[in-house]
Amino acid sequence: GDDRRVMLWQFGQAILDKGKPEPMKGLHQSNVFCLGITNDNQKIYSGGNDDIVIVHDTESKCPLEVLQHQRAVCSLSIDPFNERVVTTAGNDGRLLLFDTRQSVHDSSLLTISPIL
């Protein structure tokens, strides 16, 4: 959202109007544009106008990793079979594939055609 935070709601409590959302400790420097949560509910990926994707741990609320883009990150998709692999789309017209199992997060460029 516009406040640069990622908030975690417990769905059962939210629909009963109980409890409060829990903020992740990693903050973006600008608006958050996209989110994804892993199938095991252990990690949240957030992308934003600050050219990065932050990987948040849902238990500790701490950031685990930061993945760099060249422009704002508009969309992301977590591989449903391996939550350590994420594809991002940015305002730079690029789709990047990150494999966070690697110690150095070199991204694979999937395309460089402009987004229309």
Q: What is the pTM of this model?
A: 0.84
Q: Which residues of the chain have pLDDT under 70?
A: 1, 13-15, 103-116
pLDDT of residue 110: 56
Count of other CB atoms within 10 angstroms of residue 50: 19
Q: Decide: 52 and 38 in contact? Cβ < 8 Å.
A: no
- Please give the structure tokens belonging to residue 97: 């594939």
pLDDT of residue 19: 75
- Please give the structure tokens belonging to residue 90: 């940015």
The residue among 24, 68, 19 whose CA lies nearest residue 43 is: 24
pLDDT of residue 100: 87
Domain 7-111 class? mainly beta
pLDDT of residue 57: 96
Tell me the CA distances in angstroms from 66 to 23, 28, 106, 112, one per residue in order. 17, 10, 12, 22
